Amino acid sequence: MKYTSLGRTGLQVSRLCLGTMNFGPQTSKEDSFKVMDQALEHRINFFDTADVYGWQRGEGITEQIIGDWFAQGGNRRERVVIATKLYGDMGKDELHDWPNTNRVTALHIRRACEGSLKRMKTDYIDVYQMHHIYRAAPWDEIWEAYDVLKSQGKILYAGSSNFAGWHVVQANEAASKRNSVGLVSEQSKYSLLQREIEMEVAPACEAYGVGIIPWSPLAGGILGGVIKTSDGQRRHNDQAKATIEKHRDKLEKWENLCESMGENPADVALAWTLSKSFVTAPIIGPRTLEQLDGSLRALEIEITPEVNERLDEIFPAFRTSPEHYAW
């Protein structure tokens, strides 16, 4: 396994981040344990989750599974850099639809953190991420709440997810005025099919030393081989089918290129994200041990200048961003 620093910090994380969103809804608790154990066998030390994963309001099912896995001992917690997220509504039972059970306010930050700590059976969170921007809350309120949690030893680093470039700038400028570290990571949707973050988000993150953790690097599996391989025969939802048809010509060229390289499309897609200087670790979301093992090949694939040029032809980059209008 290869490691890198998370953004501008000294924290060392694996170049692949284990996404846990499937744990509970699609992968049983027993199989989730096997996937996490196998991840450690491969020396993957970076795990990502969120309090809402499991998709039963207020339950935090995925975090509970991780907590039960930590509780087995064997230095599992000590070997893992755990990143979780807050924002979604965690109100349940009589608190359903009650105010202050979601978003990013001082009150919900405190409650959400306590809930995640309890479910994951740990006394600290390595990277505590805001799942979305909350425009109504001033940054002084947010950073004060984060600083309290840091002083209590309950969180170590702050991260964001789905932020615009100017949100990253605004957040870190506000943190700097408080002599706080601010954001060190940003989770963004990024793949060959979704390159929009190259316009503003990626340059802002690079300038501020914020490591990007791409989610959906395979574009929901569409870059995994939907035209030629057996995976292409699996059932897709209507939205995925529409995307495949919209980009069929590109996908055919993409899969032909991967075939000429002698590589699986999914591995090349991951390798491409890993080749970007602003990327810390793409999130892989295996449902099975086989899918986890297969992801490791991406670490060995070299994206040559020739391959990169061809990829830019198939999936055009935002070449003139982010300063195409500046003069």
- What is the b/e burial string over 148-185, where b = at least 16 CB atoms within 10 angstroms of the residue's CB? ebbeeebbbbbbbbbbbbebbbebbebbeeeebbbbbb
The CB-based long-range contact list for 273-278 (8 Å cut-off, 24+ gap) reads 273/190, 273/191, 273/214, 273/217, 274/15, 274/298, 274/299, 275/303, 275/308, 276/202, 276/212, 277/206, 278/202, 278/205, 278/206, 278/211, 278/212
Q: How far is CA 310 from the centre of its chain?
A: 26
Q: 259: exposed, middle or buried (C-beta count within 10 Å: 0-12, 13-18, 19+)?
A: middle
Query: Residue 198 in contact with residue 318, Cβ under 8 Å?
Result: yes
146 noted as active-site residue: no
Please tell me which residue in 53, 128, 190, 208 is annotated as part of the active site. Answer: 53
Encoding tokens for residue 225? 């081989």
Encoding tokens for residue 300? 């060995």
How far apart are alpha carbons 132 and 163 in whole angstroms?
A: 6
Residue 253: CA atoms inside 13 Å, Cβ hemisphere, count? 12
How far apart are alpha carbons 3 and 211 in whole angstroms?
A: 13
**Closest of 105, 104, 31 to residue 65, by C-alpha:** 31
How far apart are alpha carbons 234 and 304 in whole angstroms?
A: 31
Encoding tokens for residue 53? 């994963």
Residue numbers annotated as active site: 53
